[in-house]
Structure 1
Amino acid sequence: MRYAKIAALAAGIGLLLSAGSLAQAQDASTPEQIVDAMNTLWGKHPGKRANHAKGVVVEGSFTPTREAATLSTASVFRGPAVPVKVRFSDATGIPTIPDGNANAKPHGMAMKFTLADGGEMDVVVNSLKFFPVATPEEFRDLLRAAAASGPDAPHPTPTEQFVATHPTVPKAGAAVGTPSSLARQVYNGVNAFVFVDAAGKRTPFRYRFVPVAGTDYLDAAEAAKRDPNFLMDELPARLAKEPVAFRVLAQIAAEGDSTKDATQPWPEDRRLAEIGTLTLTKAVPDSAEAEKALLFLPNALPDGIEVSDDPLIDARVQSYAISFSRRSQ
C-alpha cells in the first residue's frame, strides 16, 4: 500500500522522533504519546484539536423509539425528544485540509445529548466500518510507522512492515469514501457499548447512523475538484432549507461476537434495532467558537448504557481530554 493511503488512515483515526524526544515520549502514557504523535505530524494549531481539527457544529434533537426503552433504562430513551449538539469533522490535525482530500477521510460525527435531568451523554462515531487496529499501543505504533515512511524511506518502510503484520489496516480504509454531503453518509460506532434493561440484562451493541436521504459518494477525481470547504459549507446551507435526519440504529451482538476488538466488524445479519431518530435543524451561529468548548467523551453515559471491554474506549477518552487541555491553554 502506498504511503499516502496509510498516512491518511493513520491520521484519521505519525510520529518521527529524535532520540531525545523518543526517550521522553516513552515515559508518557500511551494516550499522551498518541496526542504527541499527532501534534508532531500535523503541527500545533492554537485552539484546534490534535485530530479532526476541521469541523462544523450544528444543532437538533433526538427522538427515541419504544424499542429503545425495552433495551435500556437510559433516560435518553424514555420521554420526549432531547436537544443534541453535533460536530461533523474531517480527519487529520490540519484545520485547512480540503474536504475532498483523501487524507480528510474518515469523517467524524460527535454528539452531545442534553438529558432531561441536566446530565449529558456523548456519542462519537465515524465513517469507518471498523478500526484499523485493536489496541491503543497498536494505534500509536501505526501513527509512528506512517510518519517514518515518507517517499524517500527505504523498503520495506516502517508502514509496510506494520501492515504486513496488521492486515486490518488497509482493509479498514478501503471502503471509506468522500460523500457529496455530510448528511449523505453512514457513520458507525467502531467500539462496542452495552445496554442494560430494567431486569439487568446486558446487551452489547454498536451504533450506526444512517441518513434518511440515503447515501451519496463522490469518486476521487470529482472530490478533488470540489471547493476546499464544500462539505463544511454545504451542511449549514442545506439546514437553512430543510432539516436533516438520521436513523439511529443499534447493531446487536450475537453470542461469540467480540466486544473488545474494534477491528472485527459483526456480520451484517445481526439484528439492527431502531432506537431513534436524530433530526438536525440548524447550524450554530459561530461554529468556530462553539467547537472550542465542546469536549466529547465516549464514557459520558447515563445509567442504562455502559462501556464494553474494548480498550480503545478509555484511550480515546484520555486522548480527547489531553487534546482539549492543550488546545485550551
Structure 2
Amino acid sequence: MPTLPPDPLMPPKPPMPWPALAAIATIVLLLATAFAWAAGWIGRDRLTAPRLVDAIEGGKPYAGFRRAHSKGVCVAGYFEPSTQAAALSRAQVFSQPRTAVQGRLSIGGADPYALDAQARVRSLALLLKTENGQEWRMAMNSFPFFPVSTPAGFHKQLVASRPDPATGKPDPAKMAAFLAEHPEAKRFQAWAKSAPWSSSWANTAYNGVNAFRFVDAAGRERFVRWSMEPQAPFEPLSEAERQQANPDYLREDLQARLQQGPLRWNLVIVEAAPGDPVDDPSQAWPENRPRHIAGVLVLKTSQPQATGQCRDVNYDPTVVPDGIALSSDPILAARAATYSVSFNRRERETARNQAPPATAVTAQEAAR
C-alpha cells in the first residue's frame, strides 16, 4: 500500500520531549527489575524458592527425583466421607459417596536411595479428585508440628544442619547459633529424640501441620488442621530392628500388608479456638480442641514411584477445592513455591535425559 504524503494543513507532530522518554524508560526498567527480583535473578541475599530448593539439595541433587522426600512408592485407593463431614465444609469430597485417591508414601530426606530405617520422618501425599473435577492435594508428615515458624528459619536450619566435610556431622557452633535465633526448633528436636519410631507406613499418623479454613454451606468459616490417623495399631521400631532392617523394609512391609487387604486411616479434623496460632505451624494446638472424624482413607494398591501414577504429580498442598481455603501461614506459601521449583527441575532433567531411565530405577529397587 503506497505511503500517503504528509498533509500540508497539518503541522508536523513534535518529537517526544526527553523527560517523557526518560520517564517511559524508567517505568520499563522498574518493571524489568521487579520481574528479575521476583525470579531471583538479582538480590541474591533475598530468600527465593530456588535458593530454598538449593539448600534442600545440599549441593548433591539427584536428577529426575523430588528434591525432598525423594524415596517413596505410589499408592491408590479411595476416600469415603463420614455423615458429619458435610456439616464441616461444603467441599464435594464430603458429600459424594466415594472419591478416587492416588498418592505417595515416602521418607524424609533428599536421597532416593536412603535406608528406610534411618529416616526419622515418614510422609503421605494425596490427590483426591471429585466427580466435578475439583482437586484436593495434601502433603502430610509424621511429625506433629513444623520445626520453625518462617521460611527464612527453615532455610537457616537446612544450612546449619549441613554436614561438615571434615566430620560428616553438622557443625555444633552453627547449630547452636541457629537454635539461639529460632528457639522454637528445640521442640522439634525434643520430639525427634523422644517419640517412638513407627514400624510401618501403615501404622503411622500423618499430620497436615498447616492451618486451613473450612467453609460450610452457609458460608461459615472455621480454622482447622487435619491428620490421617491409622486404624492399624501402632507398633514401635526398636533400635535393634532399625539396625537390622533391610534397606527397603517399609516398601516390603507395605506390599505384605496390602496382600492381606486394604489399609485404612481416619481423616481427623481439629478445630482451632480463638487465639490459637493459625499462621504458625511450629506451635501445636491444645489437645482439648474439637475433633471430628470426617471420613476414611482406604489404600488398596502400591506401585514403584518410577512408573506409578504419582511420579508426575506435584502434591502442592495449596491446591484445594471449593469449601476449603488457605490460611496466611507463610510456610504454606513457601511449600507451594518450593514444590513447584522441585517439580520443574526434575521434569526438565527427565526431558533432557539427565535422569536415570524408569526401568533402571525399578531394576535397582528390585535388586535390593
The answer to whether TM tops 0.5 is: yes
Name the residue aligned to 1:83.
Answer: 100
Q: Distance in 1 between matches of 2:79 and 2:254?
A: 18
Name the residue aligned to 2:245.
Answer: 226
Q: Percent same amino acid at aligned positions? A: 36
CA 95–202 in structure 1, closer or farther in 2 if over 3 Å, else same: same
Name the residue aligned to 2:218.
Answer: 199
Name the residue aligned to 1:236.
Answer: 255
Q: Distance in 2 between matches of 1:115 and 1:28?
A: 39
Give the secondary structure class of the aligned counterpart of 2:84.
Answer: helix
Q: Distance in 2 between matches of 1:179 and 1:216?
A: 6
Where in structure 1 are there 5+ consecutive unaligned residues? 1-22
Q: Which runs of 4+ in 1 moved over 3 A?
A: 148-156
1:1-329 paired onto structure 2 within 5 Å:
26=44, 29-41=47-59, 43-101=60-118, 104-147=119-162, 152=167, 157-176=173-192, 177-284=196-303, 286-290=304-308, 291-329=310-348
TM-score relative to the length of structure 2: 0.78
Name the residue aligned to 1:8.
Answer: none
Counterpart code for 2:284: P
TM-score relative to the length of structure 1: 0.87
CA apart distance, 1:168: 2.5
Give the secondary structure class of the aligned counterpart of 2:258.
Answer: helix
Give the secondary structure class of the aligned counterpart of 1:61.
Answer: strand
CA apart distance, 1:299: 1.0
Give deviations 1:143-174, integer Å, cap 9, x for gaps: 11112656659975111111123233232143
Q: Is the 8 A contact 2:211 2:327 kept in 1?
A: yes
Give the secondary structure class of the aligned counterpart of 1:175.
Answer: helix
CA apart distance, 1:87: 0.5
Superposition RMSD on alpha carbons, in Å?
2.1
Which of 1 and 2 has greater Rg?
2
CA 73–294 in structure 1, closer or farther in 2 if over 3 Å, else same: same
Q: How many positions carry a matched residue from both structures? A: 304
CA apart distance, 1:238: 1.1
CA apart distance, 1:111: 0.3
Give the secondary structure class of the aligned counterpart of 2:227.
Answer: strand
Q: Is the 8 A contact 2:204 2:230 kept in 1?
A: yes
Counterpart code for 1:145: A
Give deviations 1:34-53, integer Å, cap 9, x for gaps: 10112234x11121011100
Q: Is the 8 A contact 2:162 2:170 kept in 1?
A: no
Q: Is the 8 A contact 2:160 2:170 kept in 1?
A: no
Q: Is the 8 A contact 1:25 1:33 kept in 2?
A: no
Give the secondary structure class of the aligned counterpart of 1:83.
Answer: strand
CA apart distance, 1:26: 2.4
